[in-house]
Structure 1
């Protein structure tokens, strides 16, 4: 096996590793968010509607992060291994679909479109001292 074939094999394994990382993160996030939700429900009772929103937000944020990781894996695989016109178009379609999913998740989690600024009544993080 020459250097080019080895490099392609390593890049393919790296892209697969990144995809597996995203998959594991999704599963862990779902399990952790669900466990926290159930513990709160059992501890504080079923009439705690804010917990459901926090549960959705935790899941949404985890999915957003994992979508970004999956896009990165697709970009690495396409650019480094298969930069034909068909694969670049397929990558473009994947990015469009995942971008739409990301926007939908942001709308669901934060209640606003990604290009809209946060409302004035949103909690602000205090400035860090120099």
Structure 2
């Protein structure tokens, strides 16, 4: 087995882990939301909890998939075309991650320091006190 074969397998492993994180995270997020709805009978809060919980899962999944793209592009097929495609993929995934981070936090990262002592801090939510398990 050559180095390229090993790196291709590593990239496939990262992709599989990313997919499993997304699927498992969806299942856990739905279970947490259903439990919250069952206990509090507040569909809106349960839905918000589902969104917040799954957004974090998506962020983790995206980071793992970017790692797979990096391994595949740099180690397996480092052509100019593949590096350009990787750049576009990373830009798109970075934009998605940034958007999800704002969705989770409720505030842009450069304004987070202004809200820590005031209105909102990491971990607070509008889900009526329903928080994902730690």
The structure having more radius of gyration, on CA atoms, is 1
TM bracket (short chain): 0.7 to 0.9
- Say how many residue pairs are matched: 120
Moved over 4 A (4+): none
Question: Structure 1: which 5+ residue stretches go unaligned?
Answer: 126-130
Shift of 1:43: 2.3
Question: Structure 2: which 5+ residue stretches go unaligned?
Answer: 124-134
**What's 2:81 paired with?**
86
Pairwise CA RMSD of aligned residues? 1.9
Residue pairs, 1:1-130, within 5 angstroms: 6-45=2-41, 47=42, 49-118=44-113, 119=115, 120-121=117-118, 122-123=120-121
Contact 2:34/2:46 (<8 A) preserved: no
Once structures 1 and 2 are overlaid, which stretch shifts more, 90-99 or 113-122? 113-122
State the distance in 2 between where 1:95 and 1:7 align.
Answer: 24
* 1:70-125 deviation digits (Å, cap 9, x = unpaired): 11110111111111110000000000000111111112111122343241234579
Per the normalisation by structure 1, the TM-score is 0.83
Per the normalisation by structure 2, the TM-score is 0.81
Greater relative contact order structure (CA < 8 Å, 6+ sep): 2
